[in-house]
Chain A
Amino acid sequence: MAEAKTILVRVKRQAGPQDTPQWEEFSIRWRPNMNVIACLIDIAENPVTSDGRKTTPVSYEANCLEEVCGACAMVINGHSRQACSALVDHLEQPIRLEPMSKFPLVRDLVVDRQRMFNDAKRMRCWVPIDGTYAIGPGPRIAPERQEVAYALSRCIFCGNCLEVCPKVNEHGDFVGAAIVNQVRLFNMHPTGAMHAHERLRAVRGPGGIQECDNAQNCVKACPKGIPLTESNNDVNRQALLDSILGWMFH
């Protein structure tokens, strides 16, 4: 074998929300099938920069590591994506890791995506049930409808669609494609549809669907291939009808 291959990884470090960011470079021994998470574990085991300076392990979020939990989103070589499915052999080197920029920074690559969950509350993203008691089966649903709903409900709340959206930034409070998609999902469900009006009112509220200007980066960035622009246009139609009908008849 030739001499061991190495991987260069540059990480944008920031000790805390108030600190100034700085870049650190790490040199990592290459092995087959490595992903970005494996690099970060290596750095934790040997937190020394490529110029031999001792530093601290890089903080990052991760859980399932199979792209179903949404935790490990970060900006890799300029693109917002999940770190677990970012394979080293497919990335240009040096690999540049940055935290997502549209969420409050906690430390290093960790950001606080709580606003997505809060917006899901404000937009009433659930099927309101009467209780957990044994009161019989749910409504029947056509298989075609289930297939559409399933595709929408695979959203992992990773936040990539917010990160790449030009309309999500410090000037506006757009809830982002993920939440609009949730509104469509729950309006589709027979029980959820009984409360569609409340959701459609909410989605016309502060940071609502009116903020979307169709740059459509969301649908490209979605790791789960959710038809986000379809959801967006569908909710646009529903919200508009709801508002016009509400204005005319209430």
Chain B
Amino acid sequence: MSSTKVILIGGGLAGLMAAIRVAELGHSVDLFSVVPVRRSHSVCAQGGINAAKNLKGEGDSTWQHFDDTVYGGDFLQNQPLVKGMCEAAPGIIDLLDRMGVTFNRTPEGLLDFRRFGGTLYHRTAFAGATTGQQLLYALDEQVRRFESEGKVRKLESWMFLSAVLDDAGVCRGVSAVSLRSGEVRTFPSDAVIVATGGIGAIFRQSTNSVACTGSAQSALFQQGVHYANPEMIQVHPTAIPGEDKCRLISESVRGEGGRVWVPKAAGDGRDPRTIPDAERFYFLEEWYPKYGNLVPRDVATRAIHKVVYELGLGIDGKNMVYLDVTHLPREMLTRKLGGVLEIYEKFVGLDPRDHPMKVFPAQHYTMGGIWVNNENQATNVPGIFAAGECEYQYHGANRLGANSLLSCLYGGMLAGPAAVKYAQSIAKSAESVSSAVYEREQKRQEEIYDRLRSQQGEENPISLWKEMGETMTQHATVIRYNKDLQAADAKLAELQDRYHRINLADTGRWGNQSLHFTRELGNMLVLARLIVQAAALRDESRGAHYKPDFPDRDDEHWLRTTRAEYDNGSFKFQFDPVDTSLIPPRKRSYTSS
């Protein structure tokens, strides 16, 4: 068996897991990442990772985990691989444990598990308040070990630009740009795994990291890779709005008695502590007397959205509501919520024990993504595989808490060996592909950069990005109306037009971040339009996708995967049936669970 080289795009959990699997099989890896891989967005995951290990005598099972996942996703997943993931989960936890992840322990020295949203079982293994960070570090260290053995080469501060496709449409490598020198190069390989994460930057008001732009997914989509369920976007109800990013405030704050409210009078500018109870609008408690502040995420999110956008009652007329714990005993707050409240204190500079927190929903996760098959994470383009948040496989219309880390690892575990197997099976390898194919792609990419550098006009990339984010956050997150979605699409089309009049203040090559950001912005705009167009088409409410004009799930017409194909600037949609062969769809209702 000869050794082959696999190219990996993205060094988060999924990418690192795939890299480990490829290297373990004795093959070499080129690992591309825009940031040093240890700084990938996976570090932001806090809560934990699900695995039905049933260590608490509750009778939990992988089937139950599978059922919860499908139910949480509102039955939009193709079920076989979801089942595979849930069955693999206990083994994955063991693997992480062996790698040295600092999981919390029971007095007996075994892994501890906590309860999480969407389930009745203690199924979530966790490492303090930074589980994602601890998982990513364990994988990063394993990859570093392979690196020191000469099996992995990291190309950090290199940004993926495109796949190199030969005349038959087969992937033969990638083109990428050095974020340092600005030079474009092509890299031959027989198989490419994309693991580039979420697309939060498109919404600006996001909990995602700076690098989560979706640029790679978009570039591939424009080259013919299919994209599925783009409209499925998860929004978290309580995040600290920030100029630069939104930071999560965990649900546990409401679990311990935190109350959500706004002043009854629009634009009431008083210090919140001086506003008497009678002049406060505890809208969750009024609208949902049974669950109060503890309604599920999507309901809370929609309510806040309504208060701010429809009733115009946001604090100071801004997109914010109060999450208030000042009425709770300080000692209890510190003991039970210390870690969470610290985040607010650190980034807002106010002690939430004294000042009501100002929060707002923020885009959090991308359920949709690159279309992959039902077996091994392969896309429709031969030679391209995808794993992690950038693909659509595991979460349907809504992701269950603590399932994201698991899906990244499982996807990576499948994609690595699948890419190797594919590379070894093809008759003609990249070695024998004409160099003209690579030169052609390199030229194409350099021309795009040259065009951006020489463009004239009055537009600024940051301003366009902010406008895109505002449009997307307002019309394509929590509550969706077809009329607004169409208006948003028109606005995005206008932004695409103005994009060509961006005048870069810096046209140099060395370390020119605004140049590369502008490059990504062009790709973000394409994905943004894809999201609003797909959302406009799906006339039902399912999971995170909610249309007041179509408030119910409509399995008859819409138990379908949205699958989009790029067609010269516009999109072709097809709607595939969903494989629900294992668990037949049933109504999803939080009141009965």
Binding site for B on A (CB under 8 A): 15-16, 31, 33-35, 37-38, 41, 44-47, 54-57, 59-71, 84-85, 87, 89-90, 106-108, 110, 113-114, 117, 120-121, 124-129, 131-132, 134-138, 140-143, 146, 149-150, 153-154, 156-157, 186, 189, 191-192
Contact = CB atoms under 8 A, between A and B. Distances in A.
Nearest to A58: B513
Contacts of A59: 511-513
Contacts of A128: 145
Given A67-B346, A157-B38, 4 more contacts: A37-B244, A45-B460, A87-B349, A114-B156
Contacts of A37: 243-244
B560 interface: no
B39 interface: yes
A127 B148 contact: no
Contacts of B511: 16, 59, 106-108, 110
B38 A131 contact: no
A168 B510 CA distance: 27
B434 interface: no
A interface secondary structure, majority:
loop
B505 A64 contact: no
A5 to B, nearest CB: 15
B39 A35 contact: no
30 contacts: A16-B510, A35-B242, A35-B243, A44-B514, A45-B460, A54-B505, A59-B511, A59-B512, A62-B210, A62-B244, A64-B39, A64-B41, A68-B130, A69-B41, A70-B39, A71-B39, A90-B349, A110-B511, A121-B147, A128-B145, A134-B91, A137-B98, A138-B94, A138-B97, A138-B99, A143-B104, A146-B103, A146-B105, A156-B39, A192-B100
Nearest to A16: B510
Contacts of B142: 126, 129
A140 B153 CA distance: 34
B43 A64 contact: yes
Contact of B100 (A35, A69, A110, A189): A189
B266 interface: no
Interface string B168-208: 00000000000010000000000000000000000000000
A60 B247 CA distance: 20
Contacts of A108: 511
Nearest to A84: B244
Contacts of B103: 146
Interface stretch (B77-85, B106-114, B538-546, B576-584): B106-114
B98 A127 contact: yes
B24 A63 contact: no
A91 to B, nearest CB: 11
Contacts of A150: 102, 104, 127-128, 134
B349 A33 contact: yes
A63 to B, nearest CB: 5
